[in-house]
Chain A
Amino acid sequence: MKLAASVQQVTKEYVLDGETVRALRGVTLEVPEGDYVAVMGASGSGKSTLLNLLGCLDRPTSGKLLLGEDDVSQLSDDRLSEIRASRIGFIFQSYNLIPQLTVLENIQVPLYYQGRLTARERDRCHELAGMVGLADRLKHRPTQLSGGQQQRVAIARSLVNDPYFILADEPTGNLDSVTTEEILGLLDALNEAGKTIIMVTHEDDVGARAKRIIRLRDGNVLSDARQQQKRKAVIRH
């Protein structure tokens, strides 16, 4: 099976006021294409750090990080930007839409930095907006949308560059249970359509929706288990 990402003995250390914080202490894991991974663990266990490395927002202190064929642990800042623009989709807890842009323009941003804003790509942005159910809000600004709607825009945006995988850091952290269900439903559908998803969450209900749960503790992988079947019912109580 082709791997979307491969993490080999990755460590990440931060130096803060002369003290070294070891956020990741040698993490190894492989994410095949089409997987749906939930990264779980207590606060400070290194979940976000791992996600940032996978998202090429930072380089590991040591170890290898392969995305497709590229070892991204040694790439230049510009190359990392190019990879982010063309191969990675981000979904954040606080949506992170650009306030002065419309829904449609927000969806287009990654294309803009790839330098491919052709008419065909524009049509695709319309399609994606339709797919997340916002076809009639294209000209609206983020502030005119509810949290759930903003997160849908973010999902559409994460898909626009047809990424290797989608990284979601607590995507439902700011949402109520009904909207959480909507967003998780969208992610389920994407995964069923073949998209690789790596999601950070500390809620068991949310993690239960993934195919695989990786638990971190103090920068180490505590467990890495595949779930037999999806337990959609858990959400209810």
Chain B
Amino acid sequence: MLLFLRTWQLGIKSLLLHPLRSLLTVLGIFIGVASVIWLLAIGEGISRKAQEQIEGLGANNVIVRSIKPPSEVTEGMRGPVPYGITRRDFEAITETVPTISRALPIRELRRRFSYSTRMVDGRLVGCTPEYAEVTKLEVARGRFLSDADVRDKQNHCVLASGTAERLFPFEDPVGRSIHIEEAYYVIVGVMKPRNPTAGIGGSLAAQDFANDVYIPISTLWSRIGDFIVTRRSGSFEGEIVELSQVTLRVDEVKNVLETSELIKQTLASRHRIEDWGITVPLELLEQARTTRLMFIIFMGLIAAISLVVGGIGIMNIMLATVTERTREIGIRRALGAKRRDIIRQFLVETVALSVVGGATGVLVGLTCRPVTGWVRYLVERLLPDVIEQLPEVIKTVEPSVVPWSIPLAFFISVTIGVVFGLYPAMRAAAMDPIEALRHE
């Protein structure tokens, strides 16, 4: 034990004789290990975010959307072009697919809401009572839409927090009426504010709920109808859309893929053009898992390369050290060192170098999260334009250190020390003691 300590003490002493050289050698392993941990942490952060988004969509859900067909397809058609999911599609799906336990129809329009002299431009959402639960919106005052509202096509509406604040800065909106397109709607409730988030309500794009107004979808259909006019480059263009989106819940996760297949077939048989799209979060989730695996393999490759480069650095230095210390090796051999004593001596030095590199690399790897925070803060401060253009994932990613990457990185660094230290050490041990003594 004493001798063991002594070997280490000696090794470290020798390394400290050349502090700069040792530092530079350590740097290779240090960067390798730190980058393994960082890359994996960032990769994990991104894929976790993606998974959260997809899980937010609900693994049980299948989402069907209306898609405006490209103009080539509709060319030659006269008047307003009808497209997308229809009420009859909705019925066909809910009636023929038995594994669907709940269906949420949604129709969205951009409209102007006004109360006395105040106005807000926002999103008018026609929906059913389940909408609040599916989008995880909570009631602040009053209530959300009820089944009775939908059944009786009531002129009732619920305001999102932003709409409520802007239209009613001073008074309680519940019980008052707002004006939307030639009609008045009685406010029955106000929702709590909510950060714009992706993965909610069946959309992967981040949604801003602040300026919404919710009305029963039946009311929207009867009051406003399917025909919408949009102004585009001076001329008016009409569209006929019955449903913007339908979020369908499948009774059990194991039925999701089969059900989505059935829905696809149903819609395909009813539509001549591709004016609809389907999103199956479960499929996305599986894709995300594969992507994550690929990412880990890719990062592992990069890490392996950087560690090998670090290892070669160690080997290079150790070969130089061995040559430089030929005389010392001769002395030690003359004084009774066996070949394996010499091997051990030099191996201890490489392992010490790589352990120090590994340990500091792990420590710096652990600072990944705060450092990303600071970097983001700095970039936001100094280059706000650049930040604007970055994709959402990069703006919001929270790196999360993968626990197993720490022992792994450490283990690899020690292995690198042994593997790349072995050859120089063996060269040292193979020297003829007499020649080594004569060296210089």
Q: Chain A interface (Cβ within 8 Å of chain B)?
A: 52, 55, 57-58, 77-78, 81-82, 84-86, 90, 92, 96-101, 109-110, 112-115, 117, 157, 161
Contacts and interface: CB of A to CB of B under 8 A. Distances in A.
Contacts of B336: 81-82, 84-86, 110, 113-114, 161
A92 B437 contact: yes
A27 B256 CA distance: 95
A112 B434 contact: no
B14 to A, nearest CB: 6
8 tightest A-B contacts by CB?
A85-B336, A113-B336, A81-B338, A84-B336, A110-B335, A96-B331, A109-B335, A57-B433
Given A52-B434, A96-B327, A57 B334 contact: yes
A189 to B, nearest CB: 23
Nearest to B330: A96
A86 B336 CA distance: 8
A98 B337 CA distance: 13
Interface string B1-27: 011001000100110010000000000
Given A92-B437, A113-B341, A117-B2, A55 B13 contact: no
Contacts of A100: 13-14, 17
B333 interface: yes
Contacts of B13: 100-101
Contact of B332 (A57, A77, A109, A115): A109
B339 interface: yes
A98 B437 CA distance: 12
Contact of A78 (B10, B332, B338, B433): B338
B434 A90 contact: no
Contacts of A84: 333-336
B242 to A, nearest CB: 86
A112 B10 CA distance: 11
Contacts of B339: 77-78, 81
B251 interface: no
Contacts of B433: 57
Given A78-B338, A81-B337, A92-B437, A117 B3 contact: yes
A92 to B, nearest CB: 7
B338 A77 contact: yes
Nearest to A118: B2
B7 to A, nearest CB: 9
B352 to A, nearest CB: 15
A48 to B, nearest CB: 8
Interface in B7-65: 10, 13-14, 17
Interface in B308-339: 327-328, 330-339
Nearest to B331: A96
Given A57-B437, A81-B339, A96-B334, 17 more contacts: A52-B434, A57-B333, A58-B434, A77-B339, A81-B337, A81-B338, A81-B341, A84-B333, A84-B336, A96-B437, A97-B331, A101-B13, A112-B6, A113-B337, A113-B338, A113-B341, A117-B6
Nearest to A58: B434
Among B2, B10, B338, chain A packs the most CB atoms within 10 A around the CB of B338
A140 B341 CA distance: 25
B332 A55 contact: no
Contacts of A98: 328, 331-332
17 contacts: A52-B434, A57-B434, A58-B434, A81-B333, A81-B336, A81-B338, A81-B341, A84-B333, A85-B337, A90-B334, A96-B334, A96-B437, A101-B10, A113-B338, A113-B341, A117-B2, A157-B335
A186 B336 CA distance: 24
A112 B9 CA distance: 13
Contact of A55 (B6, B330, B334): B334
A57 B333 CA distance: 8
A86 B338 CA distance: 12
Contacts of B337: 81, 85, 113
Contacts of A77: 338-339
A27 to B, nearest CB: 17
A109 to B, nearest CB: 5
Nearest to A90: B334
Contacts of B434: 52, 57-58
Nearest to B334: A90
A96 B341 CA distance: 19
A133 B333 CA distance: 27
